[in-house]
Amino acid sequence: MSGLQELQGIEGLDAQDGVGIRVGALTRHNDVAANALVRNQMPVLAQVVSSIGDNQVRNRGTLGGSIANADPAADLPAALLGLQAVINTQDRHIPADDFFQDLFETALAADDILVSVDFAVPRRATYQKFRNPASGYAVVGVLIAEYATGFRVGVTGAGPCAFRARALEDALNQSFSPDALSDVDVPDAGFNSDLHASAEYRAHLVKVLAKRAVSELALQS
C-alpha cells in the first residue's frame, strides 16, 4: 500500500466557504507536519499530527490509517470534526460529522477505499491534549476552530468515538471567553472509564482543555 503514490501528498483546493487543503490517505504524519502548505495555512493540523505517539509512529503512520481505525483516543478524529473535514472514498464524500459512529466504527463500507481528506481552513484554531505519558494517546483532546459560521469543538478520548461538543460551541458562539464555558454541563454518561481516567474525570478534562484552547485562540486574534 505504501507504494500507491496516488493516495499520497498534500494540495490546496478551493472550498465553497474558503481555502481548503486535501491530504492523501497514505500521507504519513511527519509529512503532514512538515508540509509548507499545512504549516502556512492550517498550522493546527501540523500541531495535531505532531502530537501523535512518538517519532517512529509518525514516520510510519498515515492519516487515512488513523481515521479508518477510529481509535477512541486517537488525535486526528478531533481534528476532522473541528476542521469541517470531508472524507473521500473512491465514489463517496462523507462529512466528518457522519463518519465516526461508535467504538472503532466508522461510516466506511466494506468496499470503500479511503482516498483523501479535505479540510476547510479556519480563521483560527488550536488543539489541547491531556497526553497519556506512556502511549502518547489522548486521554482527552479538544480542538476548537473558528469559521465564518461560528465555532466548532471536536473532542477525542472522552467517549467511544470522537464527537462535537455542541453545548460548548453554543456557549462560545454567544460569548467567546473561557468564562463562557464555566456553566456549561459536560455529562459523563457513556464516557470511557479505565485505569487512566474515570468518566467523571474525562468530562472535567473536556471543559478544562476547552478553556485552555479558548485562551490560546485569544492570542491568535
Domain CATH for 145: 3.30.465.10
The answer to whether the CB of 163 falls within 8 A of the CB of 171 is: no
pLDDT values of the chain reduced to their tens digit, one per residue, 221 residues? 556 787 999 999 875 556 799 999 999 999 999 999 999 999 999 999 999 988 898 999 999 999 999 999 999 999 999 999 999 999 999 999 999 999 999 999 999 999 999 999 999 999 999 999 888 899 999 999 999 999 999 999 999 999 999 999 999 999 999 999 999 999 999 999 999 999 999 999 999 999 999 999 999 87
In the block, residue with C-alpha cell 464555566: 182
The reported pLDDT for the residue numbered 3 is 65
Q: Which three cell numbers stand for residue 9?
A: 501528498
User: Which domain covers residue 121, as residue numbers?
Assistant: 5-218
Give how far the C-alpha of residue 174 lies from the chain's centroid of Cα atoms, to the nearest Å: 23
The reported pLDDT for the residue numbered 16 is 58
166 burial level (CB within 10 Å; 0-12, 13-18, 19+): exposed
Overall number of domains in the chain: 1
Please tell me the pTM assigned to this model.
Answer: 0.94
Distance CA 215, CA 25 (A): 32
The reported pLDDT for the residue numbered 107 is 98
Three-state DSSP string of the chain: CCCCHHHCCEEEEEECCEEEEEEECCCEHHHHHHCHHHHHHCHHHHHHHHCCCCHHHHHHCEHHHHHHHCCCCCCHHHHHHHCCCEEEECCCEEEHHHHEEECCEECCCCCCCEEEEEEECCCEEEEEEEECCCCCCEEEEEEEEEECCEEEEEEECCCCCCEECHHHHHHHHHCCCHHHHCCCCCCCCCCCCCCCCCHHHHHHHHHHHHHHHHHHHHCCC
Distance CA 31, CA 29 (A): 5
